[in-house]
C-alpha cells in the first residue's frame, strides 16, 4: 500500500548516531583594542593620540557585519523566495575564476530529476545507452518513474532493477536521444580535502549545485532499508545535500563522478537537513551493483 505521506529525496536521514553537545558557555567578547596613533608628519613635533576612533571605523564595521549577515541569509532567501543566486563579489583566491563553473556546466546536462510514486530525488546518466543511476529508496515501490532533464524535457523511465543493500537502482528511459553520460572516476580514488560538487534536486529545486570537500573516506554507514540494508563504506562530504539530492552525483573538480549522494546525518530526526555531514556511495561500488542489476543478477 503506498505511503500516505510520501517523503522526498533522502527520506529518513541515515548515518552515525549523534549526541547533543553541552551548551556553549556565553562569554563576553574581548574589549576592542585601541588603534595605534598615526605617525607624526614632523619628527620634531609630538601630538597626543586621537581621543576617539576615526569616523570611518563604525561605518566600516557595520558594512562588514551587513556583508556577513547577507551571506548567511542568501541561501535561505533563494530557496524560500525563488530569487536568483547572488553573484559573489570575487572568486576565491585558492582557484582560478571559472573552474567550478566550468565543471558544473559540463556535468549538469547528465543530471536528471526523478519523480516516483512515493517521492522524488535525483539521478544521472551513466552509460552510452542513456541508462540512469539513482538510489533504490528514491524509486521504492515504483516500476515506472518520470525523469526531467536539464533542458526541461520529461521522459518516462522503467525501473529495470534495484539493489536495496547498496541503495542503487537503474532506470531505462524511453529514449536515449539527447542524453549524455557523465564521466565516471572508477579508476581513481579521491583524497580527503579534494574539492567536490554535489548536484541534484534538493526539495525539488532541479539543477542545484553545492560545493565542499571530501571530509573522510570509507565511513561505515547503514545503507538501504529493512533486512537488505547493512553497513557499507561511504564517502563523507561537507557539500550541502538535502532531501531530493538522493541519487545525484558527487563529482570531483574535473567533473568526474566519484559517488552517489545517498544519506545525511542530522541532529533532528523530525526536521532533517544538512549540517555538513553527508554520505555518498563510492562510484565503483555503485557501478558494480548496477552492472549486476543489468545482467539480471
* Residues labelled catalytic: 137, 167, 246
Q: Residue 146: is it exposed, middle or buried by C-beta count within 10 angstroms (0-12/13-18/19+)?
A: middle
Question: How open is the CA angle 237-240-242, to the nearest 5 degrees?
Answer: 115
Closest CA to 273 of 283, 281, 264, 282: 264
* Length of the chain measured in residues: 297
* Nearest by Cα to 246 from 225, 217, 270: 225
Residue keyed to cell 614632523? 42
Count CB-CB contacts under 10 A for residue 247.
Answer: 35
Q: E strand or H helix at 12, and its extent?
A: none
Query: Which residue in the block uniquely carries the three cell numbers 568526474?
Result: 256
Amino acid at each position: 500500500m503506498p505511503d500516505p505521506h510520501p517523503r522526498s529525496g533522502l527520506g529518513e536521514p541515515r548515518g552515525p548516531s549523534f549526541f547533543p553537545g553541552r551548551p556553549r558557555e556565553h562569554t563576553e567578547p574581548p574589549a576592542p583594542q585601541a588603534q595605534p596613533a598615526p605617525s607624526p608628519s614632523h619628527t620634531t613635533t609630538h601630538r597626543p593620540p586621537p581621543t576617539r576612533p576615526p569616523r570611518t571605523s563604525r561605518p566600516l564595521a557595520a558594512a562588514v557585519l551587513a556583508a556577513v549577515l547577507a551571506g548567511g541569509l542568501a541561501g535561505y532567501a533563494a530557496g524560500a523566495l525563488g530569487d536568483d543566486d547572488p553573484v559573489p563579489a570575487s572568486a576565491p583566491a585558492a582557484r582560478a575564476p571559472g573552474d567550478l563553473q566550468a565543471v558544473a556546466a559540463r556535468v549538469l546536462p547528465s543530471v536528471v530529476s526523478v519523480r516516483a510514486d512515493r517521492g522524488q530525488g535525483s539521478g544521472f546518466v551513466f552509460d552510452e545507452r542513456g541508462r540512469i543511476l539513482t538510489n533504490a529508496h528514491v524509486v521504492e515501490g515504483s516500476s515506472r518513474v518520470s525523469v526531467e532533464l536539464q533542458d526541461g524535457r520529461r521522459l518516462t523511465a522503467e525501473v529495470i532493477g534495484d539493489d536495496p543493500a547498496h541503495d542503487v537502482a537503474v532506470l531505462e528511459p524511453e529514449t536515449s536521444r539527447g542524453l549524455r553520460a557523465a564521466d565516471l572516476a572508477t579508476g581513481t580514488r579521491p583524497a580527503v580535502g579534494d574539492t567536490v560538487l554535489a548536484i541534484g534536486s534538493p526539495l525539488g529545486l532541479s539543477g542545484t549545485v553545492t560545493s565542499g570537500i571530501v571530509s573522510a573516506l570509507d565511513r561505515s554507514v547503514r545503507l538501504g532499508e529493512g533486512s537488505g540494508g547493512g553497513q557499507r563504506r561511504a564517502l563523507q562530504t561537507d557539500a550541502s545535500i538535502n532531501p531530493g539530492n538522493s541519487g545525484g552525483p558527487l563529482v570531483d573538480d574535473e567533473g568526474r563522478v566519484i559517488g552517489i549522494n545517498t544519506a545525511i546525518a542530522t541532529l533532528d530526526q523530525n526536521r532533517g537537513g544538512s549540517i555538513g555531514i553527508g554520505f555518498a556511495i563510492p562510484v565503483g561500488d555503485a557501478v558494480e551493483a548496477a552492472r549486476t542489476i543489468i545482467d539480471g543478477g
